[in-house]
Amino acid sequence: MSLAYKIKHWRNAHHPAFLDLLRLLLGVFLFLKGFAFMQNLAYLQWVLENEVAVNLSSGIIEVLMYYIAFIHMAGGLLVMVGLVTRLASILQLPVVLAAVFAIGIFKSPLNSDLWLSIFTAVLLFMFTIIGSGTFSLDNYLDDQTLN
C-alpha cells in the first residue's frame, strides 16, 4: 500500500460529509451569482463605477465586469463538482474580498450583502485549505489513478 493511498484513505475517513454538501451549495451560489451578474451587467457596471473608491477607466471596468461574471460561473461549477477546488477557490477569493472591503464597507454594517460576502469568503478560504472532500470529482479521479 503506497503512502499516497494511506494519506488519501485517512483524509477521506476524517472528512465530514456535511462539508461536501456545503461545498456543493457554495458552488451553486457562486454560479448563480455569476449568472445574475451576466444577466444584469449594467448593475455590475454601476456598482463598480459608484461604489469602488478607486477611479477606474471604462476599459478596466468592462474587463472587471466580465472577469467577475466568468470567474463566478466557472469557479462555481468547479467548486460544485469538486474539481480543482483549491484553485477555483483561490481565483474566487480576490473578487469576494473586493466585495467585502471595497463595496461592503461603504454601506451600513447590517447590510445582508456584506455578511453574505464575508461568509462566502470564509468558506472559500476554508475550501482552499481542506480541498474538495470525499464526494468530489477530484476524489473520483484520484481513485481511478491510484487503482
Whether 100 contacts 118, CB under 8 Å: yes
77-102 burial code (b ≥16 CB/10 A, e <16): bbbbbbbbbbebbebbbebbbbbbee
Residue 8 falls within a domain, yes or no?
Answer: no
Q: Rank 22-36, 44-58, 133-147 by mean pLDDT and report only the highest.
A: 22-36
Whether 89 contacts 79, CB under 8 Å: yes
Whose cell is 482552499? That residue is: 128
**How would you class 39 by CB atoms within 10 Å of its CB: exposed for 0-12, middle for 13-18, buried for 19 or more?**
exposed
| CA end-to-end distance (rounded Å), the chain | 11
Structural domain that includes position 68: 17-137
* 147/145 Cα distance (integer angstroms): 6
Residue 106 sits at φ, ψ, to 5 deg, of -85, -5
Whether 134 contacts 22, CB under 8 Å: no
Res 108 pLDDT > 60: no
Residue 5 falls within a domain, yes or no?
Answer: no
CA neighbor of 127 nearest in space, from 82, 63, 60: 82
Res 104 pLDDT > 70: no
140 CA to centre of own chain: 21
pLDDT at 48: 83
pLDDT at 89: 96
The total of structural domains in the chain comes to 1
Residue 143 falls within a domain, yes or no?
Answer: no
Q: Rank 60-64, 122-126, 141-145 by mean pLDDT and report only the highest.
A: 122-126
pLDDT at 81: 95
Residue 93 falls within a domain, yes or no?
Answer: yes
Model pTM above 0.75: yes
Residue 4 falls within a domain, yes or no?
Answer: no
pLDDT digit string, tens, across residues 130-143: 888 888 888 788 77
Res 29 pLDDT > 80: yes
